Amino acid sequence: MRPLGDVRIIAIEQYGAGPFGSLHLADLGAEVIKIEDPAAGGDVSRYVPPMTEGEDSIFFEAFNRNKRSLSLDMHSPEGRAVFEDLVRNSDAVYSNLRGDVPAKMRIRYDDLKHLNPAIVCCSLSGFGMTGPRSTEPGYDYILQGLTGWMSVTGDPEGPPTKSGLSMVDYSGGFVAAISLLAGLHAAKRDGIGGDSDVSLFDSAITMLTYIAAWNLNGDFVPERMKNSAHPSLVPFQNFEAADGWIVVACAKEKFWKRLAVAIGRPDLADDDRYLTFADRSRNSQELIKLLEEVFLTQKCDYWITALTDAGVPVGPIYDVDQALNDPHTIARGLVVETDHHRFGRVRQVASPVNFGSLPKAYRRAPQRNEDFGYVMNELLKYSPEHIAELASTGAFGVNKVAQPTSENLEAESAL
């Protein structure tokens, strides 16, 4: 059995951060059942371009493989009753909604513990369930600006810049997954579940780490650094070579000494201006200018070979295509394939989370409501008559493709 093969998670999730977190749990074997709002056409990410057709998108595939899908109107009494039956038969309720919405939808522990005392309720929202911003929707771009990330990203002569990836979403998803696992462990030990209130804001603030510590304990003012330089370690940054860019990382004094020899300037290692981290930081302008001139004299491959042979941490700056085709990417099994009814063979990146020796298995993301039969018949063991009665009341919504409206998109997502 896979590590989480005995875990069932009901996921009221959409778009990026929430599905990203549960994706890794599904890859580890957890049964993740996505509850999709039929009135909204399901998870809004089904419609994100490019590479989208009908309710299928490559974006949705990237966040939802190995999961199940059930269309359910949780706002109707009958749909709520189905949800509560699922809670009785599950280990966790996982959501990514606006901070005030779990209380309104009654999906917190106090709302569900009478159904299952061991249920773990994990809420990932933009700003959490408490605090002055709890009712605000939180999007990765906004959070990167609000939490200081943009102020330290990009060129000092340019504007504040976001990361090229949605790192607040992804870090928030990982934090939610870790929190949910902690809750599952406690529930298994004690027989009692509880709430996990995590947020994108909390995750982003916490990831300021040492920069925050420097700022909180002194007069250090974080700022954008030219060529993505480290704020205190020198040299530790991008350098332009004759035909491209490389990254050189002298994170230890021994690397600096090796670098000086490798570039044909052993005298620099004994120069009083550059002896220590503190010395090189004080005299960084003249040292970096000197190194920039040296690195421009040869091509990237030359420097990568020379510095690697000298034991200096160095690497090329790849584009995405080069990174995905690097021999190490292939050797680590980081590109996987699934069969898709519309797109054929879909290639995507694997989860980096690993445990045990069982080979990983990957299944395409579910079509909307694809697992209706499994949930109704096998999991909940409803009779045909009961299913028909629920359907007649609209518990499962109207069986048609419902394109998302502006209200749907704005509604309750934390993303």
For the chain, how are helix, strand and coil distributed in percent, rounded to 5? 45, 15, 40
- The span from the first CA to the last CA of the chain, in angstroms, equals 33
Task: Name the phi and psi angles at 92, rounded to 5.
Answer: -150, 150
Has 185 been annotated as catalytic? no
Strands (E), 253-403: 314-316, 335-340, 344-349
Sequence-distant (6+) residues with CB within 8 A of 38 are: 71, 72, 73, 369, 396, 397, 398, 402
CA distance 32 to 203: 23
C-alpha closest to that of 19 among 45, 52, 54, 40 = 45
CB-side neighbour CA atoms (13 Å) of 208: 25
Query: Can you give 189-209 as a three-state secondary structure string?
Result: HHCCCEEEEEEHHHHHHHCCH
How do strand 92-95 and strand 52-53 relate by DSSP bridges? unpaired
Asked if residues 55 and 46 have their Cβ atoms less than 8 Å apart, the reply is yes
Q: 230, 328, 340, 341: which is the annotated catalytic residue?
A: 230
Q: In this structure, which long-range contacts are made by residues 40-43, counting pairs with CB atoms below 8 Å and at least 24 apart in sequence?
A: 40/402, 40/404, 40/405, 40/408, 40/411, 41/368, 41/401, 41/402, 41/403, 41/404, 41/408, 42/69, 42/71, 42/368, 42/369, 42/402, 43/13, 43/14, 43/15, 43/19, 43/368
Sequence-distant (6+) residues with CB within 8 A of 105 are: 12, 74, 97
Strands (E), 280-355: 314-316, 335-340, 344-349
The residues annotated with a catalytic role in the active site are 230
